[in-house]
Structure formats: structure tokens, C-alpha cells
Chains A and B, each alone.
Chain A
Amino acid sequence: MTDNVKKHETPLLDELLKGPWPSFVKEFKTLQDKKAVANDLLGQLEYSYKTKLGYWKHGGIVGVMGYGGGVIGRYSSLAEMFPAVKHFHTIRVNQPAGWFYTSKALRTLCDIWEKRGSGITNMHGSTGDIVFLGTNTEELEPIFEELTKEGFDLGGSGSNLRTPSCCNGQARCEWACYDTMGLCYDLTQTFQDELHRPQFPYKFKIKMAGCPNDCVASIARSDLSIIGTWRDNIQMDQSAVLKYASDGLDIQKIVVMNCPTKCLDWNGKELKIDNSNCVKCMHCINVMPKALAPGKDRGATVLLGSKAPIIEGAMLSSVLIPFIKLEPPFKELKDVIGRIWEPWAEHGKNRERIGEFIERVGKGNFLEEVGIDPVPEMVKHPRENPYIFYDEYLEDE
């Protein structure tokens, strides 16, 4: 395909072929002989390294019929120098929950992408999608047809529900307090329309973690964070605790002193837990996985509103529902999701994330709107300022 195309020299990028960490430059180079687009991508990137500037035009708008998201348009501003990357669109492909694959499925994806695009991927993007980097507008419909034939679909982009993602949960983690992958799949299927057809003021992300370790950073990276937890006693195997101690673990220093609520007590023979004061932080369990485990009455805390700085500053998700049981068909949760979308979709301003919306209208008012009663678990502490908004006041007859 590129027999008569000259390979771009990349002295700066070649410096990044050195060293022990896997090199992304090598990934481009493995395709340089096969694909003009890989060659021109290297050329343009080398030029960026030389001039310290990027050369991609502001996002284009391309897509497949019937969907308002899933493809990100990208054009080079140096198309004359690097014609093969004139179009370099991204396709977001919805990943299987927990990012599990068989080699067969991956090969199918590779074959489609090698034929119809640059052959370059991100495994995965920070929202969770499989990211196919670089193709032409004409290839979009054929790629979509081939993907759906193999059972894959596009992910989200734009002001829609973004591709939900989750940790590997009960598939391979003893701490998962609910079936993260089952819920992730179910929500993704339930909200296909919201995922493919933008209808919100701005993006909306859902991430599911099985326990408070939050391996998918849901509390920082998703508008709706569903984090597993429990509300009964930590399960304990006292003999396994003793084994950790006799194997040399300093239980007092490493476990007890790091408990945030000082609810552990160790006398050298027995570990006691004041479960009524345990805040389910996971620390003691993380350190002694063979001796301790989350309780049996498991569910999740639902938090709302995290986002990056743009526009009003970064936010972490804050508590919406302190504890919810999560069993299929997850009716209560889905109902809540519908109720939180409604006021935001109706009254949110253009490009206002739900966290910003809640700050603007007041969390108290928002709760009233979605029909959830305020409880002290929702705040770090009650208000410190006396500027209380009352909806109405009394008047003499």
C-alpha cells in the first residue's frame, strides 16, 4: 500500500523507543510499512515534537446514521504534508463489562480495524470504551455494520450518557458487594437511547465499583458513582488474624493505628472491632484479606456529581443514597436514575454537568425535586452560614 511512500524520519520520537517501559512509538512503527496513515501520523507527531504544538483541528462532527454520538471527528491541519491523516476520526466501541475478552473476540475487532482504519487503538479510553484511533468518513458506516454484525456497538460521546464502566467485581474479587458487571451490562442495555442519542445538557457518566477501594475511580470520574459497601459486621476469622501476626505483620501499627475511626482493638491475641463505628473504609480488610471480609448485608452507596474542572471547578461525587440493595432487575436504582435526569434535563443550562446544576439550584431543592428525603449522611456537616432560603414566610391575616 505504501511501497512508494517515503518513511518519515523521526529522530526525536526514536528517543522514545529506548528504555524499559513499553513504547507507544513502537506501536506506530510496527504499522509504518503497512499503513500510510501510521507513517503520516509518525510524521505529524515528530513535527509536534519539533515545534511543541499540536496540529489537530478543532473537533469535527461526523457519525453513523441514527446515532448522535460514538464517533469523534478529527482532521489534521497539516494535511498537505501528511495527507494520510487528513481524516483521522476516533470511534468509541462499547467495551464488554469488566474489560473481559477472549482472544477470538479481540482478533475479530483487530481484523475489522486493520481493514477499515489505521490499525491503532487505545485499550482503553478513560471512560472505558475501546478506542479506534484514525479513520476516514467513508469508512464509518461500513465499520459500524461490521461491528454490529459481530455483536459490538458504539459507545457514547457528546451530551449523552457516556459508556458506563465498572470494576471486575464478583467475577474476580472477593470484596465486591454487588454484581458490578451485571449492573453495568443491564444499565447499558436499559439506556441505549440515552447513550446513542444526546438529549442532556451535557455528558453523564456512570461508573460502578464493587467496594470502597473504588478501582475505577468512580467517585472522581463519574457523574453517578455506585460504590459497593455493607451495613453489618466485618466477617472475621480470628485464627487467620493470629496467623498474620505470627507471620510478622505488626497489627497494632499497620492495621489498628490506620483505622480512621479508631474502632479496632488488638491485645496481641485477639482483634476486636467496634462495628458500630466502622465506616467501611476497607483498610483492615485490604491488609488482611485472608482474615477479614466485608459483611454479608451488602449493597452500595450511590453518589452524584463528580466532574473535571470545566467549568466551575472539579468536584467529587457526594452522597445521594447512603445504602441501597442492588439485585436484578435493579428497579429502585433505575427509577432513581430517571428521577435525577428529569430536573437536570429540563432545567440544566447548556454544558452544565449535574454536579454544577445541583450546586446552582441547591442540593436540598434538588432532593425535593427527585423525592429523596435529606439525611445527615449527605453532608460532611450541617451548614455554617446563616443564609437560609425559606420558600415562604408567614403573614398576618
Chain B
Amino acid sequence: MSEKQARITDIGPPHHDKFLPPVIKENYGKWKYHENPRPGVLVHVSHSGAKIWSVRCATPRILSVISIRKICELADKYADGYLRFTSRNNFELLITKEANVDPAIKEAIAIGYPVGGTGNSLSNIVHTQGWVHCHSAATDASGVVKAVMDELFVHFQEQKLPAKLRIALACCLNMCGAVHCSDISILGVHRRPPKADDANLGKICEVPNLIASCPTAAIRPTTKNGVATVEIEEEKCMFCANCYTVCPALPINDALNDGVSIWVGGKVSNARSTPSFSKLAIPWLPNTPPRWPEVVSAVKNIVDVWAKDARPYERVGEWVSRIGWPRFFKKTGIEFTKHHIDDFKHCGGTFATSTQMRHNG
């Protein structure tokens, strides 16, 4: 190797053409329709008559290289080495021979990758890093996801829900997992104001940026023991942790107060109703590792009530629009509290301003 080899930079990702199975290359943009012969399998049919079967398998998102190689073996054996991952952390074997579909399903399940997530089912939970990798986490991500999916597993395998069910989890309000438009969102929340590390704050943080970072203007500059630091007006703090994002000397994580909130009724697709945010269902549940039983049963309860009550193709939010929020709380048995009433900027628009109500029901 020569000493001064030209460094390769700015090449971008490899072109996807290199990774497409021949049947996709030949039929790119020429697909006519698809069918869903069984849960977890889609077959796309081209105008030319060509077909491709996709077998969707769940992963825990965290994958070791050892598991990825096992998945590669599966792809080699049944799909000529072609596969893709989905936007919700599943992988799909791209199979051209129908006879390979059933054995592929069998083997995927046998080595630990369940098949499902298509049609009116629950797909994988989009989630974030949690205690596995992030400083900001108010809860773990992977552990909660695992516990919830274990409980709701049947809905991944079957397609018997009224509509698609999309659950997302983010371990803090930064919401790297982008949870705010899901049927059910699981969101880690802090509940104790940050405590300034006065001795170091002035040295390691940019105080003007720190003050500007607070959405409620709760942070003021001050001096303690002769050093510049900041003071938090605790009654103004809504625990967003934005200040901590810009300044490590304002730790906010707290074992006693951190926990999990549950939001419902959002969606991103434009089908029927327009995309919408999820709304608060449960402000706080405790962090109870390793299996978060309170969170699991709260999510299961909402899913059960919705699955029983919704009409076909009614997503959680569409169901609530039809029956109304009062009845959502009544049917799920979830308590409505003052925390459910918005008190941030522009909150007035969320107050009820009509006499229309379902008193008798």
C-alpha cells in the first residue's frame, strides 16, 4: 500500500441497481397489482405477468453481524441472495420461485424471525436507542418494544385488526423515532427540572444559547460562589430537556421521576382522513424494567378496545373521531386529568367550542 493513497470521499451510497433482483430490474415501474396471499407475504404481479413474492420478517432492529449473516444465508437459499429492509425495521426476502415461499417462511420462523406485518396488522414498532446508546433517554427503547410486541404478537402474525396499527416509541421528547403521528405512541418523559452543575456550567456551555433554548423562558443567568451559571424557574419548566441538549451541565435524567407516556390517534398516511398528530392518553406510567408491565397492559387495553369497537378500515384516530374523546376515555377506563388539557402556546384551539356532545351513550 502506498503511503499517500488518494482518499475516497463524497461518493454517496452505492447505486441501488446493483442490489435489485433481475425480475425487479426488468419490471421496474411496470407493476400492475399485488395480492396478500397470507399474512407476511405480498405477491406483486407485473403487466408482463412476472411475479415477485416478498416475505416480511421481523427483526429487533438491533442486529449483530452474526444474525445478519444468518439472514444472508436465508436470502441465498430462497431468494438468490436478494433482500431488503423496510421502513419499520423488518426485512423482506425477495423470492421469484413460488415453491420457495413456504420453506422460506418455515425456516425464517425456525431461526427466530417471525413472519407478518402486512395488511391490517400490527407491524414492527419504530423506535430509538434508549439506555443502549443515548444520554437523553427517559426510558429504555428496545426493552419496552420487546415486552409490548411479545404481548401483541398475535396481531403481527394475523391480519384481523380493523385497520393497520402503527406503534412507535421514542425514549425522550427529542423523538428521534418520530413517534408523534402513530396510532399509539410510547414516549419517555422526564418530570424533574434539570439541576445545574454550577461549577462547570460556565466553562462547558454557551450560556446565551442555553437561555435561548428554553421554550418557556425558564432559564436565567446568575452567579453562584463567584462563577457564572444559570438558575431554573422550576414552576415554568415542562421537562422538555432542550436545555440539556445544548448544555451537558444541566442533567435532567432522574430514576424516581422519569417514566413513560402514551399517545393515541395519529397517522401519517393520507388514506381517508388527513395525517394527524397523536393525542395524550396517559401522561405518565412508571419505568418498570425489565418488562414494563404497566405500559404493556395500557397499550394492550387500548388495542383491545379499539379492535372490538372500530369499523373496518378505521385507524385508532378515525375511530376516536367517530365516537368522540369522552367515550374513548369511558371505554378504555383511562382517567382524564388536567394534564390532558393543553396549556402550551396556541392551546385555545384545542378547547371544545360547541354544544355538540354525545350525552346519551
Contact = CB atoms under 8 A, between A and B. Distances in A.
Direct contact of A and B (CB under 8 A): yes
Interface of A: 12-13, 15-16, 18-28, 30-31, 38, 41, 45, 48-59, 65-67, 74, 88, 90, 94-107, 109-111, 113-114, 119-124, 126, 133-134, 145, 148-149, 151-153, 165, 167-168, 170-174, 176, 179, 181, 185, 188-189, 192-193, 195-196, 212-221, 227, 253-254, 258-260, 280-283, 286-287, 289-290, 293, 308-314, 316, 349-351
Interface string B154-189: 001000000000000000011111101100000000
B130 A54 contact: yes
B135 to A, nearest CB: 4
Counting from the closest, the 3 A-B pairs by CB-CB distance are A19-B150, A58-B248, A103-B72
Given A95-B13, A107-B72, A24 B33 contact: no
Given A16-B147, A119-B65, A100 B289 contact: no
18 contacts: A45-B131, A49-B140, A49-B290, A53-B255, A101-B82, A120-B62, A122-B63, A123-B59, A123-B61, A145-B7, A168-B84, A174-B34, A185-B16, A220-B178, A220-B266, A220-B275, A289-B35, A311-B242
A280 B269 CA distance: 12
Nearest to B64: A27
A103 B16 contact: no
Interface string B63-96: 1111111011101100001111111010100100
Given A286-B271, A314-B277, A172 B178 contact: no
B132 to A, nearest CB: 6
Interface of B: 7-16, 18-20, 24, 28-29, 31-35, 44, 52, 54, 58-69, 71-73, 75-76, 81-87, 89, 91, 94, 112-114, 126, 128, 130-137, 140, 142-143, 146-147, 149-150, 153, 156, 173-178, 180-181, 209, 212-213, 215, 240, 242, 244-246, 248, 253-255, 258, 266, 268-273, 275-277, 287, 289-291, 312-313, 344-345
Contacts of A21: 58, 60, 114, 146, 149-150, 153, 156
Contacts of B258: 52-53
A19 B175 contact: no
Contact of B64 (A31, A124, A168): A31
A110 to B, nearest CB: 4
Contacts, number: 351
A282 B270 contact: yes
Given A103-B81, A153-B11, 16 more contacts: A16-B143, A19-B146, A19-B147, A22-B112, A45-B132, A53-B258, A96-B14, A96-B15, A97-B13, A97-B16, A102-B18, A103-B83, A123-B63, A179-B29, A185-B12, A316-B181
B13 A103 contact: no
Contact of B113 (A18, A22, A58): A22
